[in-house]
Amino acid sequence: MEKPNPAYFIFDVKIHNLDGMKVYRETVESTYKRYGGKRIALGGDVITIEGLPPQGHVVMLQFDSMEKAKAWHDSPEYQEIFRDRVACADSNVWLVEGVAAD
């Protein structure tokens, strides 16, 4: 049986209400870890080579598969704090299927 391809959530988040994001920031890690997710980038330097730069902080999460990534995003525990991010930040979010390691 083939191993599924990994999946990556990529967030570009510009926070406009830091206080309103407090619960989200304090609890989001525990929600994605339950689904096997791990953070591979959180802020840091971004160099725009082509196109437009990100509008805010770039965050990348890795999951074992698209199914696990979607399950995390749709989970009740994430949806409970998701509203905080939507209300307190402007975001662009992508779910990208990766390539299985050789």
Q: What are the pLDDT digits (tens) for 45-87?
A: 999 999 999 999 999 999 999 999 999 999 999 999 999 999 9
Report how far residue 90's alpha carbon sits from residue 88's, in angstroms, rounded to the nearest whole number.
7
The answer to whether 15 and 21 have CB atoms below 8 angstroms apart is yes
DSSP letter for 18, please.
T
Neighbours of 32 (CB within 10 A): 22
Model pLDDT, residue 1: 67
DSSP 37-95: -EEEEES------SSPPPSSEEEEEEESSHHHHHHHHHSHHHHHHHHHHHHHEEEEEEE
* Domains in the chain: ranges and CATH: 7-53+63-97 (3.30.70.100)
